Chain A
Amino acid sequence: MNLFFQDKLAGSLMAVIACITVFIPLFNLLTPVDSVLHFSAYTVSLLGKYLTFALLGLSLDLVWGYCGILALGQGAFFALGGYAMGMYLMRQIGTRGVYGNAELPDFMVFLNWKELPWFWQGFNHFGFAMLMVVLVPGLLALVFGWLAFRSRVTGVYLSIITQALTYALLLAFFRNEMGFGGNNGLTDFKELLGFNIQSEGLRSLLLMATGLILLLAFGVSRWVMNSKLGRVVTAVRDQEMRVRFLGYRVEHFKLWIFVFSAMLAGIAGALYVPQVGIINPSEFSPLNSLEIVIWVAIGGRGTLYGAIIGAVLVNYAKSLLTGWAPEIWLFFLGTTFILVTVFLPNGILGLFRSQEQKL
């Protein structure tokens, strides 16, 4: 419990998330549709989506806020986790697809494929798919990070190659021959673990699951950052050379935190897909990864909960603005980012924290 309530802000934020997680789904399941306490399926899914973004922001804060690695490809791990979940959901469609093929997803029938490619095997099992949700992003982060950190690629060069990584995946997943549905991605899901994916009950359960996993991820991340490993990682951010000369293999520490963060991003992606009902290559867009950086910067990096606040606020603003005047959204985002960088280098949280210190 100590991990959650280290300071007042983090404690209140976690309490709010816990309330959302428990009460909104509960009200929805227990109250009739016309009750005041009943939230629409749309609202529930929207909240669930925000919380997956919060988890994604948290994952980036670990590598950027604490370890100083400005990774501009976090969206790639999110999308890979999402695709793993999408593949499971595709296999659950069964004969309910347009072509009624029990074995092959519609897009494969359309491409005239005769059998399921090897990398789709096993995804009809929920457990296997969930394992892939963490293993695939984790493995990519391991290989990529090992090559990059071992060669001591740092700073802006590392940022650029992480952008290149997500862009390369974007192009690859666009290709039909890759076997992931090409341009259209994976969609038209029917059920998850036997529940209708459109049903309010499942929507509520998904929100609950997302909230609980976010709280758990926050607790674990906080525990990691309060450990000696967390202090080493912070030290790497500030004086990498000094850490090396103290006898730590800096690249191993960077790799550990990078892989851990990629796995969290993968989980966020897997929770996102059933709540929005689609995963397509646009999730690999380099712009998406840049947006995650902006969430964390606006919320306040190096605090874990700043990333959560930033992700939710920015995405809430995005929902409002894109509904009202979609063309100004990017200008708004860019302006906010510049203003925050100039006037609030520690993000929104910096504002609260400096006031707390004055008191």
Chain B
Amino acid sequence: MSGLALKPDELDVSHGPILYLEGINLSFDGFKALNNLSLYIDAGELRCVIGPNGAGKTTMMDVITGKTRPDSGSVFFGQTIDLLKMDEAAVARAGICRKFQKPTVFEALSVFENLELALAVDKTVWKTLFAKLNGIQRDRIDEVLAIIGLTEQRSRPAGVLSHGQKQWLEIGMLLMQDPKVMLVDEPVAGMTHQEIERTAELLLSLRGERSIVVVEHDMEFVRTIASRVTVLHEGSVLTEGTMDEVQNDPRVIQVYLGG
């Protein structure tokens, strides 16, 4: 695709980054949640964002996904798509999907139906009323069921799944949307050791096809999956680098251990 023929709403990652966050400020009642935050995510990369509580990790995701509007700054998806002009549904349709901190699935619906609702199709009211699954879409759901390891649970209500399975189902719902960027908030919170390992494998296997941003507290887990780590502190980027670089940075040590 040539850069010249690009339509304004088409994703342009020709310069490398897929997400551009620049100079973002946001305060709640005088508390500066984001303070001149600038961050770039490359196309296809798996990035971990860490930082102490209140560093602005979740708020950053709120800003990217259209849930919260910043006071100033800009957020671009590729070179051309201005995310600050879009609502949550539009951001999701453009290809940025988000997993919440607390696993959020539709407990009354079956695992299969949860994935069906997430499927990347026309999501307007009338199209939804008359929607029918075709063979390709069924295959895609089966494929994702296999990826997240819930094939046997497909007909069970999502409410009876274990905590870890709900986390995977939500990741599966993200995959169904065929996103360009996955924002994953604390994917291993509350998981057993084995579940954490499986989640790490899952995320690593998805790397490359799409960009993944993982916010996580579990340092062991971050070390397993991340090539690049960004440390947030008081609403802005403290440092960025490999896990080793970051862990040996005296500023990071001070932030985490207090001083």
Chain A residues within CB distance 8 Å of chain B: 224, 227-229, 231-232, 234-235, 238-239, 241-250, 252-253, 256
Contact = CB atoms under 8 A, between A and B. Distances in A.
B93 A247 contact: yes
Nearest to B110: A231
B contact residues, range: 20 to 34
B123 A227 contact: no
Contact of B109 (A224, A235, A256): A235
B204 interface: no
Nearest to B114: A235
Nearest to A239: B104
A234 B106 contact: yes
B97 interface: yes
A241 B123 contact: no
A253 B109 contact: no
A246 B118 contact: yes
Interface in B85-121: 87-90, 92-93, 97-98, 100, 104-109, 113, 116-118, 120
24 contacts: A224-B129, A227-B128, A227-B129, A228-B117, A228-B128, A229-B131, A231-B109, A231-B113, A234-B108, A239-B106, A242-B100, A242-B104, A243-B117, A245-B92, A246-B92, A246-B97, A246-B123, A247-B92, A247-B93, A247-B177, A249-B87, A249-B124, A249-B125, A250-B89
Nearest to B88: A244
A357 B159 CA distance: 17
Give the one of A239, A248, A252, A253 with max B CB within 10 A.
A248
B116 A228 contact: yes
Contact of B89 (A231, A238, A239, A248): A248
Given A232-B117, A253-B125, 7 more contacts: A228-B116, A228-B129, A242-B104, A246-B92, A247-B120, A248-B123, A249-B89
A57 B100 CA distance: 36
B128 A232 contact: yes
A245 B125 contact: no
Contacts of B118: 246
A253 B97 CA distance: 20
Q: Sort A-B residue pairs by CB-CB distance and give the 6 closest, nearest first.
A: A247-B92, A228-B131, A229-B129, A247-B93, A235-B106, A242-B104
Contacts of A234: 106, 108-109
Contacts of B116: 228, 231
Interface in B140-185: 173, 177
Contacts of A243: 117
A231 B116 CA distance: 10
Contacts of B107: 238
Interface string B222-243: 0000000000000000000000
Given A227-B131, A232-B128, A235-B106, A247 B98 contact: no
B65 interface: yes
B177 A252 contact: no
Contacts of A238: 106-108
Contacts of A241: 100, 104
B28 interface: no
A241 B58 CA distance: 15
B130 interface: yes
Given A231-B116, A245-B88, A256 B125 contact: yes
B177 A246 contact: yes
A45 to B, nearest CB: 36
Nearest to A255: B125
A246 B92 CA distance: 6
B89 A242 contact: no
B108 A229 contact: no
A235 B109 CA distance: 8
A200 to B, nearest CB: 41
Nearest to B183: A245
A244 B106 contact: no
A316 to B, nearest CB: 31
Nearest to A243: B117
B258 to A, nearest CB: 34
Contacts of A244: 88-89, 92
A319 to B, nearest CB: 35
Nearest to A237: B108
A250 B90 CA distance: 12
Give the one of B93, B113, B129 with max A CB within 10 A.
B129
B127 to A, nearest CB: 9
Contacts of B123: 246-249
